[in-house]
Amino acid sequence: MTRVQDVYPANRVSLREVGLRDGLQMVKTFPSTAAKQRWMREEHAAGVRHFEVGSFLPASTFPQFADVRDMIRTVAALPGAHGIALALNERGVNEALASGVAEVASVVSATEEHSQANARRSRDQAIANVKRLCELRDASSHKPIVNAAISMALGCSITGPVDPNEVVKLVEKCLEAGVDFVAVADTVGYAGPKQVEELTKAIVKLSGPKPVCIHLHDTRGMGIANASAALDAGARILDGSLGGLGGCPFAPGATGNVVFEDLVFLCESKGFDTRIDIEKLVAVRSILRSEMPGEPLYGGLARAGLPGRTTTREQVAGM
């Protein structure tokens, strides 16, 4: 049995690499299983400990996650590493539980409209699925951590603005259903830091001793500012993807996660010890570049490196 406080200690920030799942959701070419395993192992060597490794969705629709069981075995073999897999219905939940994955993630849409359009079910049905997941977890031998993410929680691609009170109600229902923690997702990158701070504060209060995860997309350049606001408001789990993988400049709605390496720099600059080596982390981008040459990668740290003394004389008159 995995205790949530052991995996996500309350006195530290846990940064989760979600590039192997969310980052690969919409890419045009898929990295091989071997490449994904190298990506994970090299990030692990850089100090990363939390990996979303895939999803239990039909492999016919999402062939990039057909190897999810291999990935779960790989992450389980890495010392101190924690694997997360997404499951959206009872079939997927059963498969996830059978796989022995350490954490199962589920999703509830913040708006009825998006829930119907995206998952062809009501929000109540999604909550019932979360409840069933918790029951099956309780009946399982290894009792993985269960989280529920509220997607479109800070803006919806269908309805536009989202009432934060609706999100709070859904979070309450997920907590009542027995999840170990709730994640709040700005799925389409609508929010600014004020909105993130206000919602995070409310969810942190509701969650009590349970941790809170904020899952941000950098669609409009607000990702790091929003992550900073989430930390200020008490969130201690943040998601990101190496190079901000998942973004696509040509497809509306295809929006990258927050750049993982910049997120590490942010946390360190705010005094949180991430135990992650940024330079080693940046070096892992070479795997993404060679496996997915068509995907744009983002990030300031990869461009500029860590701050340090330089021997270059600055040009006269800079400000």
Return the active site residues: 248
Q: What type of residue sits at position 265? A: F
Find the part of the chain contacting its own copies (CB under 8 A) among 29-37, 93-101, 169-177, 227-235: 227-235
Residue type at position 310: T
- How far CA 302 is from CA of 49, 84, 260, 261, 287, in Å, comes to 21, 26, 11, 8, 14
CB 79 → its own copies: shortest distance, Å?
27
215 binding its own copies? (CB under 8 A) = yes
| CA–CA distance, 22 with 36 (Å, rounded to integer) | 13
Pick the piece of the chain touching its own copies (CB under 8 A) from 32-40, 174-182, 204-212, 247-255: 247-255
Binding to its own copies in span 25-84, by CB under 8 A: 25-26, 55, 57, 61-62
What is the amino acid identity at position 69? R
Q: Closer to its own copies by CB, 188 or 237: give it.
A: 188
Among 249, 273, 293, 294, which residue interacts with its own copies (rule: CB under 8 A)? 249
Q: How many residues sit close enough to its own copies to count as binding (CB under 8 A)?
A: 75
* Residue of the chain from 27, 259, 276, 281 that contacts its own copies (CB under 8 A): 259
Choose one: 127-135, 172-180, 279-287, 309-317; the region binding its own copies (CB under 8 A): 309-317
Taking the complex as a whole, how short is the minimal distance between the CB of residue 283 and its own copies, in angstroms?
17
Nearby residues of 46 by Cβ (< 8 Å), 6 or more positions away: 276, 277, 280, 281, 283, 284
The residue with tokens 């539980």 is 97
How far apart are the C-alpha atoms of 106 and 181, rounded to whole Å?
A: 11
Query: What six digits make up the tokens of 210?
Result: 């349970």
Report if residue 105 touches its own copies, rule: CB under 8 A. yes
Exactly one of 6, 138, 176, 253 binds its own copies (CB under 8 A); that residue is 253
Radius of gyration for the chain, computed over Cα atoms and rounded to the nearest angstrom:
19
Q: Which of 3, 142, 270, 289 binds its own copies (CB under 8 A)?
A: 270
Q: Report which of 258, 276, 218, 243 is spatially closest to residue 47, judged by C-alpha positions.
A: 276
For residue 68, which of 38, 36, 44, 94 has the smallest C-alpha distance?
36
Does 174 contact its own copies by CB under 8 A? no
Identify residues 175-194 at the interface with its own copies (CB under 8 A). Answer: 183, 185, 187-194
Cα–Cα distances in Å, from 51 out to 110, 180, 308, 318? 24, 17, 30, 42
Q: Do 267 and 253 contact (CB within 8 A), yes or no?
A: no
**Near its own copies by CB under 8 A: residue from 79, 80, 160, 208:** 160
Give 256's DSSP letter. Answer: P
Among 8, 17, 22, 144, binds its own copies (CB under 8 A): 22
Residue selected from 14, 200, 228, 274 as contacting its own copies according to rule CB under 8 A: 228
Q: Which range binds its own copies by CB under 8 A, 30-38, 41-49, 138-146, 300-308?
A: 300-308
Residue with tokens 């019932």: 128
Q: Can residue 200 be called a binding residue for its own copies (CB under 8 A)?
A: no
Q: How far is the CB of 126 from its own copies (least distance, A)?
A: 12
Neighbours of 119 (CB within 10 A): 18
Q: Interior CA angle at 237 toward 115 and 195, to 5°?
A: 60
Only segment of 21-29, 126-134, 202-210, 280-288 that touches its own copies (CB under 8 A)? 21-29
User: Would you say 79 or 318 has its CB closer to its own copies?
Assistant: 318
Q: Is 209 in the site for its own copies (CB under 8 A)?
A: no
